[in-house]
Structure 1
Amino acid sequence: MKTVLLVFGTRPEAIKMAPVVAALRARADELRTVVAVTGQHRAMLDQVLAAFGLAPDIDLDLMRPGQSPNDVAARLLERTPPVLRETGADVVVVQGDTTSAMAAGLAAFHERVPVAHVEAGLRSGRMDSPFPEEMNRVVLDKLSTWLFPPTQAADDALAAEGVAADQRLVTGNTSIDALLTLRERVGTMDLATRERFEGCKRLVLVTLHRRESFGAPLAGLLDALQELARRHPDVDFVYPVHPNPAVHGPAHATLKADNLHLLEPLPYPDLVWLLDRAELTLTDSGGIQEEAPALGTPVLILRDVTERPEVVSGGAGLLLGTDRETVVDAAHRWLADPSTAASFRQPRLLFGDGHAGARIAAMLAGERPAPFVASTDTAGAGA
């Protein structure tokens, strides 16, 4: 029986790996599944694990105060090889573009254990944005045996880099599996966020946390948010603030308005409810860029580049950059006259159909399932 070891630890990784774990465990007669968590985002990770009923088999316990990406990589390179030997892993599955994913993949490569990369092929075309994620995913794609691009654009990028067709499968993004699963359940869940904000007539969800925005770009974006709150007192801006001091400190120092709600990081079901309920979202999050189109929530992307061009080309949002005036002008137009964003509110299955995890499990079991094909149909999305 093949042993599949999954290594992850951040909140976004956990959300996107949960459907893969479920699909692999559904094949328990042919695949042995072992889950190892790095423990980087301990509280936020535990929220996601609880939401999906997951319990890790191994805890690498990497989190340390003030750690750098190099610290994370060094500890993971040291701790992964013994786990590979103890579990007898036949393949290591990693997700996305974190430094921990890259380091776990590199450690497996050094031990000659094949690597499977979930969400392969994303490219911004700039090694400094997102930083260090762009380099991390390029390295992972180079050393992986199986590559699971979420979209045709990501698959095209891998093909252009010379990755063989039999190594690649367009799966859709597992974030959509997770989103659609939770969206079916949030209506019956007791959510503190819904209790607090359900009576609000107009909601905007805000997320800001990218490392490349730290400093002056983040300061400008926070100032833009403060100005939007001033111009639109009838709109409640809900901002779950990342705990990183480079984000948390400036956000709480800058944002001062009755209709600006700064929250601690939310459990994933609460975030799904907010995103579904929001009139629009202002975000630099890759996950939100994927999930919002499936719910028909317009996206204003607060980054200079995006590795998810389907958001813009598919008519689900706009790429604004980090310039204060550009952000204020675009968001103000949409909020002052909601009809201007009407075309962006059509739910679109741009990034997945809810079956990405099953495709990945099938591929690891030696099968070749049909690939995901993007659609603008509303079926299974915002309906």
Structure 2
Amino acid sequence: MMVAGTTAEIIKLSPLMRSLLDSGTPYELWNTAQHVDGLRATLDDLGLPQPDEHFLDPRTQSPLVRSSQVPGWMLRIGFHTLRHRRRLRRTLHAGGRPLVVVHGDTFTTVLGALVGRFLGAPVAHVEAGMRSGDLRNPMPEEINRRVVARLARLHFAPTRREVDNLRRERAKGLVVDTGANTAIDALRMMLGAEHPPIDLPDEFGLVTLHRFEMLRNSAVFAETLRVLKESSPLPLVMPAGDTERRRVEELGLSALFDDRFRLVAKQPYPRFLPILARASFVVTDSGGLQQECGILGRPAAIQRDATESHQGIGENLVLTQLDPDRLRDFLARWEDHRRPSQLDAFHPTEVIMGSLRSEGYVGAEVR
């Protein structure tokens, strides 16, 4: 069982889902609907089946855009699990050894791990062991990661650093160093598959700002956009969904956008990657995009106070710690941060599949 609810989780689990399909190993995808917009389209674009189980009725699903929505959403998922526990348990235990797979550090990660344990199955955590070192930052991701480490029994850690974190915390079960994040396999699957869906300048910077902690901090969000507008040496392209656009309007920042700082429609992952591939540099608050830039060697400013992923920081990646002067310095010197791509250096999904075979969860070789 794959439990996922965000497009990022779908993307990073997609190489594993594809490998399971290719090996003839059945799996189901259970959807928490943490994200609604784009999730179905992302699965279609990745050539993967739609969810088998919805914790929330598809007719009443709505995306989580405010933290105040989270408690009610979690209660609805808990109620669905309790109400259908016998059927879910039968499904989970029907074909050999049961396993529930979760990814990352979202509320869905925690709920998926709790559901797996409640239904009597071991939990595998992909992207395990990542730590910022500060329980309050990023909030709630750092707490989510530590909770899931207590619940999981298979821990797939991206690097030796994350393995060491789990060893220090005395995580129970099998800890596996996959060498890199599965984002590298997702990138390899999709990069360059399509032409960009929008017209792009010959040279441009790519901007994504969408995290809860960014959008709810009006002063930091507004200052970030103003620094980008004033200091970028290249035209900027900023894909934005409805939530980000509403925030721009609420804060009276619409006048910042023009032909040189373009606000464009948010794109599904396979259509976003060709934009990333052509960007000269990136400014983002996204942990996933941070990892992808690290893999590609793309210069990127990580507009966050702290990060749980340390690969590439100090090399092609600059952690701004929300300091506007650090962001200005990156924009002035972005070319100094170019690094070679490591896209072909690691194959973490192969490592995960090998471990699942060794543990008896997968019987056939991947074709």
TM-score (norm 2): 0.85
**In 2: Cα distance, 1:212 partner to 1:174 partner:** 25
- The answer to whether the 8 A contact 1:206-1:239 is kept is yes
List gaps (5 residues or longer) in structure 1.
369-383
What does residue 44 of structure 1 align with? 38
List gaps (5 residues or longer) in structure 2.
361-367
- The answer to whether the 8 A contact 1:300-1:319 is kept is yes
Deviations, residues 271-290 of structure 1 (Å, cap 9, x unaligned): 21121111111111111111
Partner of 1:68, secondary structure, is helix
Q: Percent identity?
A: 31
Q: Pick one of 53, 56, 74 that aligns with 1:58.
A: 53
Range with greater deviation from structure 2 (47-56 or 9-18): 47-56
Aligned residues: 341
Deviation of the 1:156 alpha carbon: 1.0
**In 2: Cα distance, 1:228 partner to 1:286 partner:** 20
Partner of 1:117, secondary structure, is strand
Residue type of the alignment partner of 1:224: T
What does residue 378 of structure 1 align with? none
Deviation of the 1:354 alpha carbon: 5.3
Are the structure 2 counterparts of residues 69 and 353 from structure 1 closer, same or farther at C-alpha, using a change threshold of 3 Å? farther
- The answer to whether the 8 A contact 1:147-1:168 is kept is yes
Please give the residue correspondences for 1:78-117 in structure 2 after superposition, counting only pairs within 5 Å: 78-80=79-81, 82=85, 84-89=88-93, 90-117=98-125
Q: Is structure 2 residue 109 aligned with structure 1 residue 120?
A: no
Are the structure 2 counterparts of residues 104 and 254 from structure 1 closer, same or farther at C-alpha, using a change threshold of 3 Å? same
Please give the residue correspondences for 1:12-23 in structure 2 after superposition, counting only pairs within 5 Å: 12-23=8-19
**In 2: Cα distance, 1:71 partner to 1:356 partner:** 36
Partner of 1:70, secondary structure, is helix
Residue type of the alignment partner of 1:38: T
**In 2: Cα distance, 1:190 partner to 1:59 partner:** 33
Deviations, residues 82-103 of structure 1 (Å, cap 9, x unaligned): 3531413411111111112201
- The answer to whether the 8 A contact 1:206-1:282 is kept is yes
- The answer to whether the 8 A contact 1:36-1:57 is kept is yes
- The answer to whether the 8 A contact 1:8-1:37 is kept is yes
Residue type of the alignment partner of 1:319: L
Partner of 1:169, secondary structure, is strand
**In 1: Cα distance, 2:81 partner to 2:102 partner:** 12
Please give the residue correspondences for 1:52-201 in structure 2 after superposition, counting only pairs within 5 Å: 52-55=46-49, 56-61=51-56, 63-64=61-62, 68-80=69-81, 82=85, 84-89=88-93, 90-163=98-171, 167-171=174-178, 172-185=180-193, 189-193=194-198, 196-197=199-200, 200-201=201-202
What does residue 296 of structure 1 align with? 297
Q: Is structure 2 residue 247 aligned with structure 1 residue 250?
A: yes
**In 1: Cα distance, 2:222 partner to 2:342 partner:** 29
What does residue 226 of structure 1 align with? 226
Deviation of the 1:227 alpha carbon: 3.5
Are the structure 2 counterparts of residues 54 and 91 from structure 1 closer, same or farther at C-alpha, using a change threshold of 3 Å? same
Are the structure 2 counterparts of residues 76 and 361 from structure 1 closer, same or farther at C-alpha, using a change threshold of 3 Å? farther
RMSD (Å), alpha carbons: 2.3
What does residue 359 of structure 1 align with? 351
TM-score (norm 1): 0.82
**In 1: Cα distance, 2:345 partner to 2:269 partner:** 19
Range with greater deviation from structure 2 (316-325 or 174-183): 316-325
Residue type of the alignment partner of 1:133: E
